[in-house]
């Protein structure tokens, strides 16, 4: 399949970057999920002190779950299309805010995940919002390469589920072709989807 290819594919720089990211991910993996980050800048997150402060205030007081994670929905800043749903731990949220590029926490890999580090499909923040009770994040992004899904589609939500009809459920694909070929982009890297 033609189409989009990773700009770093084949280059020494790309290989070194992948090597570096791999080592970095392992370093993160050794850190317990909810462990306090000693490098935390206390000016970014505020403690949650009252419902009024959380709902009506102007401080960022995010609520991370018992697993240390906050859910994130990511949309295309131009089209409004929902691209993906993921999670962030404190460090991912902090790095997203510092760099302007989406960072998540991969539950399957149990590691900080700089979206695009291995594919080149970086997500650049156009806008970031927090919801009423500050336990969910919305990112509106511009995506390098025009695809956010590791399967190769533009959006992770590339199938519709029928409803209101009896009988066997048959999913319908909303994207007729993939934006990129995952085999070309990821090579032999293990698939993050786990059964």
**Residues engaged in binding Zn ion (CB under 5 A):** 149, 156
In angstroms, give the least distance from the CB of 59 to Zn ion: 33
In angstroms, give the least distance from the CB of 58 to Zn ion: 34
In angstroms, give the least distance from the CB of 120 to Zn ion: 15
In angstroms, give the least distance from the CB of 42 to Zn ion: 34
In angstroms, give the least distance from the CB of 43 to Zn ion: 34
Cα–Cα distance, 156 to 108 (Å, whole number): 16
Cβ closest to Zn ion, residue 96 vs residue 119: 119
In angstroms, give the least distance from the CB of 155 to Zn ion: 8
Cβ closest to Zn ion, residue 64 vs residue 157: 157
Q: What are residue 60's phi and psi, to 5 degrees?
A: -85, 110
Cβ closest to Zn ion, residue 60 vs residue 156: 156
Q: Encoding tokens for residue 144?
A: 């390098």
Cα–Cα distance, 158 to 174 (Å, whole number): 5
Q: Encoding tokens for residue 158?
A: 């590339």
Cα–Cα distance, 148 to 191 (Å, whole number): 15
Cβ closest to Zn ion, residue 54 vs residue 179: 179
Cβ closest to Zn ion, residue 48 vs residue 109: 109
Cβ closest to Zn ion, residue 33 vs residue 156: 156
Contact 69, 123 (CB under 8 A): no
């Amino acid at each position: 399949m033609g189409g989009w290819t990773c700009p770093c594919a084949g280059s020494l720089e790309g290989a070194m970057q992948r090597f570096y990211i791999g080592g970095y991910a392992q370093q993160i993996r050794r850190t317990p999920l909810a462990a306090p980050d000693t490098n935390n800048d206390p000016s970014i997150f505020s403690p949650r002190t009252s419902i009024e402060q959380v709902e009506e205030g102007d401080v960022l007081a995010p609520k991370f779950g018992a697993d240390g994670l906050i859910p994130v929905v990511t949309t295309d800043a131009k089209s409004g299309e929902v691209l993906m749903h993921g999670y962030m731990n404190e460090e991912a949220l902090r790095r997203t805010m510092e760099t302007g590029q989406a960072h998540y926490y991969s539950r399957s890999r149990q590691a900080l995940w700089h979206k695009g580090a291995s594919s080149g499909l970086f997500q650049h923040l156009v806008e970031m919002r927090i919801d009423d009770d500050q336990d969910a994040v919305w990112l509106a992004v511009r995506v390098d390469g025009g695809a956010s899904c590791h399967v190769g589609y533009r959006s992770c939500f590339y199938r519709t589920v029928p409803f209101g009809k009896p009988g066997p459920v048959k999913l319908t694909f909303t994207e007729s072709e993939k934006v990129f070929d995952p085999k070309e982009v990821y090579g032999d890297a293990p698939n993050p989807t786990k059964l």
